[in-house]
Amino acid sequence: HPFDTVKVRVQTEGRSGRFAGPFDALLKTVRQEGPLALYRGVTPPLLLTGGINFLLFGMQGVATDWVKGEGGRGREARAGEVARAAVMTGAVISVVVTPMESVKARLQVQ
């Protein structure tokens, strides 16, 4: 997570920001705010990642069965079926993950 915090801080500052690069951002953050500042924004992912993964894998199974249809019961899904199900699952799960990532990024740049 510290690498993610440094990355987000450098990205939000841009080239003309207060950091000359990732290493500078790391040093300035630790010097000015202490080492715990590198873990800002860690709470939302810690609290929500398990539930999101639970939804992701559950939805992938349901979507794969739906894509296979009635004729596909009892057989392994083909690669194309798994891919179509993954696209559907990814589209749905992104609606859940995006707000969490937004909160995390806002906490990291405080």
Average pLDDT over residues 88-106: 89
Q: What is the pTM of this model?
A: 0.62
Side chain identity, residue 8: V
| pLDDT at residue number 30 | 95
Lowest mean pLDDT among 37-41, 84-88, 106-110: 106-110
Nearest to 107, CA basis, from 25, 26, 39, 50: 39
Q: How many CA atoms lie within 13 A of 109 on its CB side?
A: 16
Other residues' Cβ atoms within 10 Å of the Cβ of residue 33: 12
Residue 15 has pLDDT above 80, yes or no: no
| Residue whose structure tokens are 């860690």 | 42
pLDDT digits (tens, 9 = 90+) for 24-79: 999 999 999 999 999 988 888 888 888 889 999 999 999 999 999 877 777 889 99
